[in-house]
Structure 1
Amino acid sequence: CWNCSQIIQKSNGLFCGNCGKLLEARTDNYFKLMSMDEKFDLNVTVLAKRYRELQVMVHPDKYCNSDEKERQNSMEWSSLLNKAYKILSGPLERGEYILNQKGIILPHDNSTLDQDFLQEIMEKNEEIEATDQNSIHIYLAKVRATLYILNESISDMLNKGNYDEAKTCLVKMKYYKSLEKTIKERMHKMELNSD
């Protein structure tokens, strides 16, 4: 422990079991940090509740009268919790994180996708740009339906340990998330509700 110099044998990961001081922020696994099962399908409501509970324990406002080291630890824990929550709360980010934990990195280019899929995405982008107010909601519904199917496929592939297929589905999800964002931006310009 940075404060009492004792070897930390009993701790919840946040506080020293000897002196009770806030430890230095560190984790090797966001699921463990948030006390969640390490799986793609998780209850986002439970995750949000756990995030809020942990933030209350480490929030910098709580440590404004503490010594400099504990204030610094508090800021680092708060930042780490924010990052963990952001990654685990989104299916795309969560899936990518699970693969990263297994040493599998998603490509940042489109080298793993077939040309037919890329052509399809390009055509959908053009259709979205040309669509009118009457049909833009239909495009959004179709994209969200595809995202739902991809989400189910990713879950299934990860549960079966088929990481290459999961990776392909995650890359496709990234493109469909981009389409969804484009549609929402277009709807905003048209002053339409995208919910």
Structure 2
Amino acid sequence: MRSVINGLKRAVKATNYTPLAQNANLFRQFRLPETRQFSVESSPACWNCQKKSKLKQNMICSDCGHLQDVNSGINYFKLLSFPIQFSLESQKLTRSFRQLQTIVHPDKYSNRTSREQTNSADWSSLINKAYKTLSTPIERGQYLLQLEGEQMPQDNSDLNKEFLMAMMERNEEVEDAEDNQTLEGLNAQLIDELEDMAQKLNILFESQDLSGVKETLVAMKYLLSIQNSIKQKQQSLLGS
């Protein structure tokens, strides 16, 4: 790891701050994962009574009461009954999640049609996915960005070189740490920074500064990566 980091640092310095695109191969390990795509929401007729009635909890036909086929394209905020915005109450989100899971719990459909039993499992899976997305600031930020029709950058060619250098330095700190107390201190710093970035994201979304949103989300990805390195180092120390 140390040899890789030192090699990257020399590559950055050697560019004399020229575009990082010239060193794309050297920084390929920092390539960001591709963002997920979500289908467009639709409102088909009830599979049982064939009526296009308003759905209860976005899932149950208000006429015949049958659980509908899962709508994988439904807006996660609509599914969990939240306004489409970055700021949300985590406790309220958890309550909404639990209420929905109670509605689609498999035990409620054990004596129903096989189609509803399948739908129950499908809705439960989607609700879990929606909750995970909205409950995590970075996931929620990326999802909102997609709703705006924007994409996260797929490489680091436009990233600030000083930022990359700082991230490599922090990775070195993790690698050099010799005890859990030092690692806990480094992790505490990251937690504070991530909380500050989440607050910043709220302001950026409110002002529709999507360029700032992307930059902040990328920075959060790097900090989360370092957090993961800390966890791995802690496990390594426990095993030694």
Name 1:185's counterpart in structure 2: 232
Name 1:145's counterpart in structure 2: 192
Name 2:90's counterpart in structure 1: 44
- Identity across aligned pairs (percent)? 38
Alpha-carbon displacement from aligned partner over 1:125-171 (angstroms, at most 9, x marks no partner): 11111112142222112212221221121111111111110110001
What is the aligned counterpart of 1:62 among 96, 105, 108? Answer: 108
Equivalent residues in 2 for 1:1-150, closer than 5 Å: 1-9=46-54, 11-26=56-71, 27-133=73-179, 134-150=181-197
Alpha-carbon shift at residue 37 of structure 1 (Å):
1.9
Q: Distance in 1 between matches of 2:202 and 2:54?
A: 36
Note the aligned Cα RMSD (angstroms): 1.7
Alpha-carbon displacement from aligned partner over 1:105-128 (angstroms, at most 9, x marks no partner): 112322331121111111111111
What SS does the corresponding residue of 2:65 show, helix, strand or coil? coil
Runs of 4+ in 1 over 4 A off after TM superposition: none
Q: Are the structure 2 counterparts of residues 34 and 169 from structure 1 closer, same or farther at C-alpha, using a change threshold of 3 Å?
A: same
**Equivalent pairs, count:** 192
What SS does the corresponding residue of 2:69 show, helix, strand or coil? coil
Structure 2 contact 87–202 (Cα < 8 Å) conserved: yes
Larger Rg: 2
Alpha-carbon shift at residue 11 of structure 1 (Å):
3.9
What SS does the corresponding residue of 2:50 show, helix, strand or coil? coil
Alpha-carbon displacement from aligned partner over 1:2-29 (angstroms, at most 9, x marks no partner): 0111222464421111101111211431
Alpha-carbon displacement from aligned partner over 1:74-102 (angstroms, at most 9, x marks no partner): 11111110110110010000000000100
Structure 1 contact 51–85 (Cα < 8 Å) conserved: yes
Q: Distance in 1 between matches of 2:184 and 2:85?
A: 32
User: Does 164-173 or 125-134 show the bigger shift?
Assistant: 125-134
Q: Are the structure 2 counterparts of residues 9 and 86 from structure 1 closer, same or farther at C-alpha, using a change threshold of 3 Å?
A: closer
Structure 1 contact 25–73 (Cα < 8 Å) conserved: yes
Structure 2 contact 133–139 (Cα < 8 Å) conserved: yes
Q: Distance in 2 between matches of 1:46 and 1:87?
A: 15
Q: Distance in 1 between matches of 2:169 and 2:120?
A: 48
Q: Are the structure 2 counterparts of residues 149 and 10 from structure 1 closer, same or farther at C-alpha, using a change threshold of 3 Å?
A: closer
Structure 2 contact 57–79 (Cα < 8 Å) conserved: no
Q: Which amino acid aligns with 1:48?
A: T
TM-score by length of 1: 0.92
Does 1:174 find its partner at 2:221? yes
